Structure 1
């Protein structure tokens, strides 16, 4: 059996996680360490390949210093598959500038209630 397509809301939430992480210039490794998961799991969340539990999403919101509702703003609510809204990248305007590679990131640590703080 082949893999099924990720659910559109999982893809959308994953993109919002990546957007916010990029806005704060937080690396995948930093995020993984703060959550206590392998880097590969962060990648799966951001691609929508792994569903983020409510408890984990709440922790991600705390780390990225946003309310958990941030991850659902302008979300396409559907029952599954890949919706046109997600294919077009709704809610992702301006994200490409934040997702450029090659920038050095300062070392940070997680401070409860404040997210990542530069050291």
Structure 2
């Protein structure tokens, strides 16, 4: 099963690659991977590391955030509230 984010990143890679009229092989070369690996990224079958995301963005001439446009932002973590009996930290009341 593929993660929705991996599928979204893969779709963005595929769309941009086609917009630039690049083959999978032409994109794979500057990224240092095989064209089969590009296929797997585009299908969302393999996770894209942070370093590979940077290589893909560079090769496709887009900022890294291009792959996350229109993707919902993660929910902010709730601030941890003190539990009864917790001692205040340094400088606390």
Task: Report if TM-score (shorter chain) is over 0.5.
Answer: yes
| Paired position in structure 2 for 1:52 | 48
- For structure 1, the residue ranges without an aligned partner over 5 or more in a row are 79-119
Q: Shift of the alpha carbon at 1:77?
A: 6.3
Q: Deviations over 1:69-96 (max 9, x none)?
A: 0001112568xxxxxxxxxxxxxxxxxx
CA contact (8 A) 1:9 1:76 kept: no
| Paired position in structure 1 for 2:85 | none
Out of 23, 26, 31, the residue aligned to residue 22 of structure 2 is 26
Matched, 1:61 2:25: no
Matched, 1:43 2:39: yes
Larger Rg: 2
The structure where strand makes up a greater share of residues is: 1
TM-score of the superposed pair, with normalisation by structure 2: 0.74
CA contact (8 A) 1:11 1:48 kept: yes
Count of aligned pairs: 74
Partner SS, residue 12 of structure 1: helix
Q: CA RMSD in A?
A: 1.4
CA contact (8 A) 1:29 1:39 kept: yes
- For structure 2, the residue ranges without an aligned partner over 5 or more in a row are 75-93
